[in-house]
């Protein structure tokens, strides 16, 4: 069986190298910087950055209230932060599902 295999390899090599590809047949990709990628992702799913901003805002205000000694408001802001994180996570999952459904169609 080995001689048959050697013959196939020899015949394939005798055919010569494959013809070169045309330059237009190759896909071209644009190098995307951080700002461009951030804007594209924000346009695709605007709720995720909004949720992140709400999370950071609630956290910052909660820390300020804690430093001022307003523990009741501080606890309220920490709960708001958890809700905002949940919203952000749900928006992220929703965007992933929407992208998966769109790619199937």
In a domain, 60, yes or no: yes
Which domain does 62 fall in, by range?
45-104
pLDDT recorded at residue 49: 93
With tokens 């430093």, the residue in question is 67
Residue 19 lies in a domain: no
Q: What is the pTM of this model?
A: 0.64
Q: Domain count of the chain?
A: 1
Give the 3-state DSSP-derived string for 72-98, with helices as H, strands as E and coil as C: HHHHHHHHHHHHHHHHHHHHHHHHHHH
What is the 3-state composition of the chain as percent helix, strand, coil, each rounded to the nearest 5?
A: 80, 0, 20
- Residue 97 forms part of a structural domain: yes
Instruction: Report yes or no on 36 lying in a domain.
Output: no
- Please, what is the average pLDDT of the chain? 84
Position 32 scores a pLDDT of 86
Angle at 39 between CA 35 and CA 60, to 5 degrees: 85
Is 26 inside a domain boundary? no
Residue 39 in any domain: the answer is no
What element of type H or E holds 26? none
């Amino acid at each position: 069986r080995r001689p048959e295999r050697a013959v196939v390899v020899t015949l394939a090599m005798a055919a010569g190298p494959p013809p070169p590809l045309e330059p237009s047949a190759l896909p071209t990709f644009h190098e995307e910087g951080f700002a461009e990628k951030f804007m594209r992702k924000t346009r695709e799913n605007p709720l995720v950055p909004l949720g992140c901003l709400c999370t950071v805002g609630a956290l910052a205000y909660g820390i300020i209230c804690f430093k001022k000694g307003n523990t009741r408001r501080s606890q309220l802001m920490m709960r708001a932060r958890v809700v905002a994180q949940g919203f952000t996570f749900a928006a992220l999952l929703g965007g992933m599902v929407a992208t998966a459904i769109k790619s199937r169609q």
